[in-house]
Chain A
Amino acid sequence: MLESVAGGCLIFLSLSLLVSLYRVVRGPSVADRVIAADTMTTSVLAVVVVGAILADSRDYTDTVMALAVVSFFGTVAFARYLVRGRPVD
């Protein structure tokens, strides 16, 4: 039962991955692209977690945490870049 549910979730998550990619490509302004990239990271995180549940291995906890760090750090770096022209004044 869990395998089929997880499989379904993975499909939907892959869909959301593609959709956010569309926004990355299409996004009129830079901010859109940054948000889209942020969603992509979240979808990747979700896929990794579901994959870990399917593979029943505990090794992915660090990868998941790293993904969370990434989305935060990337977003903040971009935000500072947009305003100041350089991530750091």
Chain B
Amino acid sequence: MNDSLILATAVRITRPVLFLFAVVLFLKGHNAPGGGFIAGLVTAVAVLLGLLVHGHGNRKTGRPTFLYVVAAGLGLALLTAIVPTLLGWPFFTHSFGFINLPLLGSIELASAALFDLGVYIVVVGNVVTVLHALTERR
């Protein structure tokens, strides 16, 4: 029962833009303002916009799906912390290097970005879980 067609169409247009905006924020986070935390918040806004419009119509599972998202994010973050130890470097060593992709030229890959991705996922999972729980129809 979404009461405003105008809102629905507007949201249908803006959500992809927001998701893209979040990805851009995340990717350039290392060199310019942005980063996992902010990108996570923007994505959370995008998800919540969808929630705003469609409500919980289609989600009747009641299972805390986004809690698994949080767990995945934490797992990834922990992985980037522990893997260096297994390879012999001290705990939590980040390394970065440049690889040359055929068409994109030299891309800077940093393992810190993986950790940042973990942060990103946790933030999204956290915000959405809390708001889903708060607003789910009893």
Contact = CB atoms under 8 A, between A and B. Distances in A.
Interface of A: 59, 62-63, 65-66, 69, 72-73, 76-77, 80, 83, 86-89
Interface residues of B, number: 22
B135 to A, nearest CB: 4
9 contacts: A62-B21, A62-B25, A66-B38, A66-B42, A69-B45, A77-B52, A83-B3, A88-B51, A89-B137
Given A62-B34, A80-B52, A83-B3, 4 more contacts: A59-B32, A88-B51, A89-B1, A89-B55
Given A65-B21, A76-B7, A87-B135, A59 B33 contact: yes
Interface of B: 1, 3, 7, 14, 18, 21, 25, 32-34, 38, 42, 45, 48-49, 51-52, 55-56, 131, 135, 137
A59 B25 CA distance: 11
| A63, A86, A89 interface centre (most CB from chain B within 10 Å) | A89
A69 B20 CA distance: 13
A72 B32 CA distance: 25
Given A65-B21, A69-B42, A73-B45, A88 B56 contact: yes
A62 B26 CA distance: 11
B52 A87 contact: yes
Nearest to A83: B3
A86 B135 contact: yes
Given A62-B25, A72-B14, A73-B45, A88 B55 contact: yes
